[in-house]
A = this chain, B = another copy of it.
Amino acid sequence: MGKIRAGIIGATGYAGAEILRILASHPEAEAVWAGSRSYAGRQISSVYGNLLRFVDLSCVDDDTDRMKDTITQLADEVDVIFTATPQGACAKLVSEELLNKVKVIDLSADFRLKDVAVYEKWYKITHCATQFLDEAVYGLVELNRSKIPGARLIANPGCYTTCSILTVYPLIKKGLIDPDSVIVDALSGVSGAGRGAKVDNLYCEVNESAKPYGVAGHRHTPEIEEQLGYAAGRPITLTFTPHLIPMNRGILVTAYADLLPKADGTLPTQEELHKVYEETYAGETFIRVLPEDVLPQTRFVEGSNFVDINIKADVRTGRVIMMGTLDNMVKGAAGQAVQNMNLLFGLPEETGLMMPPMFP
């Protein structure tokens, strides 16, 4: 059997280009089609100089409206389509016919939320493919692994959400924290904001600065709530506050929650909490529960598909502080998408993803 043939819609955004970078080293897959609205007709390597000699593709116009004709054609040429596109684009393109031909891995939020009302409220877009919401599998591999292989449509999780959910999940699952007390404070590098030419993302606007944004209203909130709600066994509400800080890559989550007493009335100890993480993630290739006194740092996951996690009990306040980090371009986007692709095609999920983090 030949290699898996991949097409990427939105290939010249940061996430799309990162898929190209990862596939360039993937032993069982290759990118054969790259779409771009802004750079149609240009070689990928003239936009992403790093990919010179690795990717020899000319960009095809992938404007969503004009794509309707070419998507059928594309479906004949590839085995999997990654949509690294703005909200709403994948929903416009997906169809029964398409899903019968190829696997679709959507990096946008279009199929992440099961409740269309929640989607439309937070994203302020009318969803135009609600018929696939039930079918779409939320591709957070570590929590949903079994559902992925047979799926046709994967909703690849967001960067903040992947980090937040994996960081908080074990203690909610075990009933050791009050789900409604959860506060997720998150820091992100600037690549998460995409490659659009906006004043806010200019070097001089971001460098030497830190800022909160989307406070009490960021779109990743309901995604975190939905997934952690499954763990809690009931709907939950939490506070999520993202911040932009001056670095290229990386998400760092610091989450807070009130500890719940155990059966004997005492609060769980540091050791007990740490053990819960070790047990929950035992056997996970891409989750590194750190030794007790080592805290996560974004620098140690950069360029890799790893998530580093640790916790600290705050005995003075009866809270626990849960900390996690990942590379928003890899585990937070392209790497996780390839991890899903691997499972969809029956490959070991680590295939092509074992690059060690790069430091410094």
Q: In A26-68, which residues have CB < 8 Å from any B CB? A: 46, 48-54
The residues of B that contact A252 with a CB separation of less than 8 Å are: 210-212, 243
Determine if B243 and A246 form an interchain contact, defined as CB atoms under 8 angstroms apart: no
With contacts A14-B204, A246-B246, A254-B243 known, is A199 near B199, CB below 8 A? no
The residues of B that contact A245 with a CB separation of less than 8 Å are: 187, 210, 245-247
- Chain A, residues 257-273, CB within 8 Å of chain B (1/0): the string is 00000000000000000
What CA separation (Å) do A288 and B51 show in the bound complex?
11
Of A69-77, A107-115, A124-132, A234-242, the stretch lying at the interface with chain B is A234-242
Determine if A211 and B296 form an interchain contact, defined as CB atoms under 8 angstroms apart: yes
Which of A207, A249, A323: most chain B CB closer than 10 A? Answer: A207
Q: Which residue of B lies closest to A303 (CB)?
A: B358
Of A17-25, A96-104, A145-153, the stretch lying at the interface with chain B is A17-25
* A282 at the B interface (CB under 8 A): no
Determine if A49 and B300 form an interchain contact, defined as CB atoms under 8 angstroms apart: yes
Determine if A206 and B203 form an interchain contact, defined as CB atoms under 8 angstroms apart: yes
Determine if B254 and A187 form an interchain contact, defined as CB atoms under 8 angstroms apart: no
Q: Which residue of B lies closest to A327 (CB)?
A: B358
With contacts A295-B211, A321-B216 known, is A204 near B360, CB below 8 A? yes
What CA separation (Å) do A357 and B25 show in the bound complex?
11
Interface residues of A (CB under 8 A from B): 14, 17, 21, 24-25, 46, 48-54, 180, 183, 185, 187, 189-191, 195, 197-199, 201-213, 215-216, 237-239, 241, 243, 245-250, 252, 254, 256, 288, 290-291, 294-304, 306, 308, 312-317, 319, 321, 323, 325, 329, 354-360
